[in-house]
Amino acid sequence: RLQLQSPAKLNLMLHITGRLADGYHELQTVFQFIELYDQLQFEITDDGSISRPQGAMDIAEDDDLVVRAARLLQDRYRVSSGVRIQLDKHIPVGGGLGGGSSDAAATLLALARLTAPTTSTDGRDPGIDLHALAGGLGSDVPFFLDPRPALGTGRGERLEPIASTLRARVVLLNPGFP
């Protein structure tokens, strides 16, 4: 068993610089994590199944990024064990705070730790390349593998750590809809 918190993020700046051939926007952004977290608990199972009995109310289990992340790691690296994921949502769904992406990154980190002896976020280790997996799940998922202030370019997946730029208090308002 493993419990993790997954943080929310703000985009302190977002500049669209063009459109990529795959239809995504090319951008420059500054990511900053904030102290708002989802809670995740992972329990490895022997049967190979992946389940998320508790999560965001409006997201079907098969569509949830945590389930997609777990299946991607399981398929790509032929992991035979399964996992039961409990997700306690505190980050609003559809609020632009990266909750789903953060939960997916936490899932990759947890399962790599629980099921594989070697991991890598930068591809230098011959083990699991979490950065490559994260980028395939979503543009801002790689940020959450090591959530520290960063300049994001490309689709947001190319990251360069920077000094924290957030020097003010932030008030987040949730209107109750995405």
Give catalytic residues, as residue numbers.
9, 140
Burial class (CB in 10 A: 0-12, 13-18, 19+), 167: exposed
The first and second tokens of residue 133, run together, are 């997996």
Degrees to nearest 5, angle at CA 67 with 65 and 71: 115
Rounded CA separation 150/107 (Å) = 21
Rounded CA separation 131/121 (Å) = 5
Rounded CA separation 137/141 (Å) = 7
**Residues with Cβ < 8 Å from 47, sequence gap 6 or more?**
82
Percentages of the chain per state (helix, strand, coil), in multiples of 5: 25, 35, 40
Q: How many CA atoms lie within 13 A of 102 on its CB side?
A: 32
